[in-house]
Amino acid sequence: MARADVERVIDGDTLVLRGGQRLRLIGIDAPEMPHDGRGPEPYAREALVDLSSGRAVGVQYGQPPHDRYGRGLAHLFLANGDNVQASLLRRGLATSLFLLPNGEYLDCYAAAETEARAARRGIWSQAGFHPIAAKRIGRAAQRATAW
């Protein structure tokens, strides 16, 4: 597992490592921060807590190691061993989103999301939040949830 420092957090599922590598977290979709004249989605700011700038993280790259936008694809771990994606899912600050072949932590992430849904934590407490079924997402879709 590679070690790196977080330089900048873009949103709950995208960050920049020291040295400039942009990284997309595998297995989750987090609420978006403000962009294109729109405000932040609910719980977008809360999703940034684990990924503060300057924080050292363990980086487990996926296969393939990059997406079609050139971002690195990885699972992230804190110094204490906590999986960042599982933590975000458990707190209701992201939804699980798996694109094969990167299904290594599928069961872990699904269980964490199920726990958050049952407890109505974070995004799952929002009456207007309804995830879109994966089979309804087209190839060109960039968002896996709808508010």
Contact by Cβ (8 Å): 73, 59:
no
pLDDT of residue 72: 94
Band (pLDDT 50/70/90 cuts) for residue 135 is: low
Its pTM stands at 0.83
What CATH number does residue 45 fall under? 2.40.50.90
Structure confidence by residue, pLDDT tens digits, 40-82: 777 788 877 767 767 899 999 998 899 989 999 999 999 999 9
Q: Which domain holds residue 20?
A: 2-137
Band (pLDDT 50/70/90 cuts) for residue 132 is: low
145 lies in some domain:
no
- What domain count does the chain have? 1
| Strand 130-131, strand 56-66: pairing | unpaired
**What gap in Å lies between CA 92 and CA 90, rounded to an integer?**
6
Q: Where are the alpha helices (DSSP H) in the chain?
A: 84-90, 106-119
**What gap in Å lies between CA 147 and CA 131, rounded to an integer?**
8
36 lies in some domain:
yes
144 lies in some domain:
no
Structure confidence by residue, pLDDT tens digits, 83-111: 999 999 999 999 998 877 888 899 999 99
What one-character DSSP code corresponds to residue 119? Answer: H
104 lies in some domain:
yes
147 lies in some domain:
no
Cβ burial of 25 (10 Å; 0-12, 13-18, 19+) is buried
Cα–chain center distance at 114: 16
Query: Which residues, listed in sequence order, are joined to residue 130 by a DSSP beta bridge?
Result: 146
Amino acid symbol at 20: G
Half-sphere exposure of 101 (CA within 13 A, CB side): 6
Tell how many helices (H) and how many strands (E) occur in the chain. Answer: 2, 9
49 lies in some domain:
yes
Contact by Cβ (8 Å): 95, 113:
yes
